[in-house]
Amino acid sequence: MAKATKKQALGRGLSALLKDPENDINSAEDTNADKVVGNIVELDLESIEVNPFQPRTNFNEDSLKELASSIRELGVIQPITVRKLAFNKYQLVSGERRFRASKLIGLEAIPAYIRIANDQESLEMALVENIQRQDLDPIEIALSYQRLIDEIQLTQEQMSERVGKKRSTIANYLRLLKLDPIIQTGMRDGFISMGHGRAMVNIENPLDQIEVYEKIITNKLSVRATEQLIKNLNSELPAKPESQEFIIPKHIKSGVKDFSEYFGHKIDVKVTKSGSGKITIPFHSEEDFNRIQKLVQRDK
């Protein structure tokens, strides 16, 4: 009788197989796993949750509406990728724009590739697959690389192998995160290019960075003109007196490690020689900010 039930489930297709509690698949070794994992399956949109590890934070509404219109006419051409969480419950790994656009036009199901992965593997897959996208801005790519360093503990060499980019290319993206947040936002919004940003990284003083940024916007400077402006600026600066680098005390280093583990992010700390300092807690999306806020409120 049990065998007949399984044959019947297979006859209804892969989607029906996944909705049969007797055929629940949780690992690659389970019966019928080879029929599901790596294959395209129609999944109910209600059974899929958004990936909290999603490195992408900007979803342009007009662009989503255009994609939704295309999906209405042609369907979802490229399946999304999900990982199985529990019985008939899945989490997005990649394809959130297609997922959001499908919900926007009221679709009930979407084609998907199913993977079985733990949280760390899911984060790495989401980050690496998103880095390959053509429509990410330079700061989003830089943040994805930084998360691979902070949360997966990948070296730049390992990242180079994962994403198929030269190590020097990865380093250039990461350097963009040294720019003032105002400039990073300008780059994300398309006011300046990555070339402008790479040039401004050579300016140490944030106020000088902002001043150059404003000149770029006002005068519509090219990358080459920006590089010359920065070269002139640096030649006018007085030489800095040599000073011994201040070493962060051990008790603060150990405390920062505890903070990082608690909040799930690498916590940045700056300490002056007098002992005062500043702690910075980064976040990568609205969902991530809400998660950190709950952690803080829980301890009140």
Element containing residue 81 per DSSP (H, E)? strand 80-86
Give the end of a domain, one of 86, 118, 150. 118
Active site residue 61: no
Question: Do 32 and 23 touch, CB atoms closer than 8 A?
Answer: yes
pLDDT for the residue numbered 5: 33
Task: Write out residues in the chain with pLDDT < 50, as ranges.
Answer: 1-12, 241-245
Q: What is the phi/psi pair of residue 173, to 5°?
A: -65, -45
Q: Report if residue 138 sits inside a domain.
A: no
Token pair 């990284």: residue: 201
> Looking at the structure, do residues 207 and 256 belong to the same domain, yes or no?
no
Burial (CB < 10 A; 0-12, 13-18, 19+), residue 233, is middle
Q: Report if residue 175 sits inside a domain.
A: no
pLDDT tens digits for range 21-77: 666 666 655 666 666 666 678 889 999 998 776 655 566 788 888 888 888 888 887
Put simply, whether the predicted model's pTM sits higher than 0.75 gets the answer no
pLDDT for the residue numbered 233: 82
236 token code pair: 């006018």
Q: Find the CATH number of the domain harbouring 69.
A: 3.90.1530.10
* Parent domain of 221: 191-235
pLDDT for the residue numbered 89: 86
> Looking at the structure, do residues 202 and 112 belong to the same domain, yes or no?
no
pLDDT for the residue numbered 11: 28
pLDDT for the residue numbered 245: 47
> Looking at the structure, do residues 70 and 109 belong to the same domain, yes or no?
yes
- Dihedral sign of CA atoms 164, 167, 173, 174 in order: positive
CA distance 17 to 13: 6
Burial (CB < 10 A; 0-12, 13-18, 19+), residue 297, is exposed
Q: Give the count of domains, the chain.
A: 3
CA distance 218 to 39: 52
CA distance 218 to 95: 37
The residue annotated as part of the active site, out of 49, 61, 96, 227, is: 96
